[in-house]
Structures are given as structure tokens and as C-alpha cells.
Amino acid sequence: MGHYIEVEPNVKVFVEDIGEGQPVVFIHGWPLNSKSFEMQANELALQGFRFIGIDLRGFGKSDKPWSGYDYDTQASDVKAVIDHLNLENFVLGGFSMGGPIAIRYITKYGQQGVDKLLLMAAAAPLFTQRDDFSINMKAEEVDDIIEQIKQDRPAFLAQFADMFFEQKKSDKFLHWFQMLGLEAGAHSTINAAIALRDEDLRGELAGITVPTAIFHGQKDQICAYELGEELEKQIPNSVLVPFKDSGHGINGDEPERFNTEMINFLKSSGVK
């Protein structure tokens, strides 16, 4: 079933809530929504878990206010959902942009209630290069993406779908993926891209002590595999799970292996 939850006055986010058991909270990537995890929702419910998929503000069925696309506000929206649903002993999962939002949630609100952390193709600790950080995109490349979105968002999303997956996908699947991106607000897509470009989480990783799994595609063209290696180095109780045949969309490129690894991690007592 779906809930609309007020995260601040006059801003509601949509939450998909499926199954029963230990809650697994999924935070989606840019510029998608919780429907991008539909194959995981089904598997989790079958395996005795409760799938909680949040549409971040600006995306999917959620309200699309003008502002609030920085990680602090997005993390505060996640907190509002967790509090409203009285979730305890939950797993926090973040895909792509959802990865740094999950990390920022822990930085801001602590690990109380968080059983495990699952980072999937995470855009962390940084999405763009700095003078002292040479991994992934340059800031100007994100500026170019923003320009393309302003000029022809549907065309950009079609091209983005091609970059997203390593394995061949049907035209129908790519069209569906493009439609998920079109459900977002144009301004939301742009403002969240600015957050991706500018936010820096390098100082926030050492304090994460919950068991953490880092799923990352070795052929990822959007969040380089080296980002996953960097996260494993800096998060104390973490394990990196490489997906050698995957690009960015690991749950679409290797869906069976993704679900198997996900369920194994959820059912394990830890990672080390």
C-alpha cells in the first residue's frame, strides 16, 4: 500500500509499503523513484521483509516544491518517514544519489534503529572531482547535463538510460526507465543534480559502524567503481560486493545475483 507522509508543512512524500517483517528502507537514485526497485520489493516481500520505498521530494508521486534538494533536507525527509512509520531495527538502503542521502541520514541522526546499511552504486563520498579527489565526473560535466535537461529533458533521459545499463535491455524497458525520470519535476531534477555536483561526504564515513554492504558495478559509467573501493576503505565494518557484468543499474543488469546478494546480506548477522 502507499502512504503520503507530510515531511514539512505543505510538503508530502509518497511511500510504497509492501510486505511484513524487518523493514528495508530504499532511497532511490537521480532522477528516478521507488518504482525502480520493483523487482526488489517483490523479492523482499516473498522472503519475509517489509519493503519501504520512498519517493524523494521532487520525484515520482511526491510533492515537487521549489527547494529542499540538498542532502540535509532529503535526509530530514527520510527521518520524517521513519518516525511517522515508527520503524525500528530497519535496514537503510541507498542507490546512487540515495547512497549519500543514507550516509547523511546517519551523520545527522545517528545509527539508532539502523540495523545495517546497503549502499548500491552510491554517488559517495563525492560525485565530482576536486583538487584532492580525482575519481568520477568533473563538475563541468554535471553543468553540461543540467544544460541538456533545460534544452530537452526527454532526449537527455533516453541517452541517460543507455549509459545506465551495461547489459542489453528491451526498448520497452528503456522507455519505462525514461518515464520514471519524466515523473520528476524538471526543477527538482536540476536542483538535485546541483546537490550531486557540490556535496562532499568525505568526513562522514569513519563514524559509520553498522554492518555495511557496498554493491557496485565494475563497468559503472555514472558512479565509477573506484567510488565503491573508496567507501570500503573508509567505512570500518564494510564489504565491497563487485558486479563484474554491471554498469550503474546493477539491479537491472544482474537482477538475480543482485537479489541473491541482497537477501544474503539482510539475513546475515554481519559482514565480516
Which residues are known catalytic residues? Answer: 96, 220, 248
Percentage of residues in the chain with pLDDT exceeding 70?
A: 99
With both helix axes pointing from N to C terminus, report the angle between 38-46 and 255-267 in degrees, rounded to the nearest 10: 40
Residues forming a β-bridge with 23: 50
Domains in the chain, please, with CATH? 2-267 (3.40.50.1820)
d(CA 119, CA 128): 18
pLDDT digits (tens, 9 = 90+) for 6-50: 999 999 999 999 999 999 999 999 999 999 999 999 999 999 999
pTM: 0.97
- d(CA 96, CA 123) in angstroms, rounded, equals 5
pLDDT band at residue 272, thresholds of 50, 70 and 90?
very low
- Count the neighbouring beta carbons within 10 Å of the beta carbon of residue 162: 12
Check residue 269 and give its pLDDT. 76
Provide, rounded to the nearest whole percent, the portion of the chain with pLDDT above 90.
97
> What pLDDT is stored for residue 22 in this prediction?
98
- Model confidence pLDDT, tens digit, residues 77-130: 999 999 999 999 999 999 999 999 999 999 999 999 999 999 999 999 999 999
Rounded to the nearest integer, the mean pLDDT of the chain is 96
pLDDT value at 271 more than 60: no
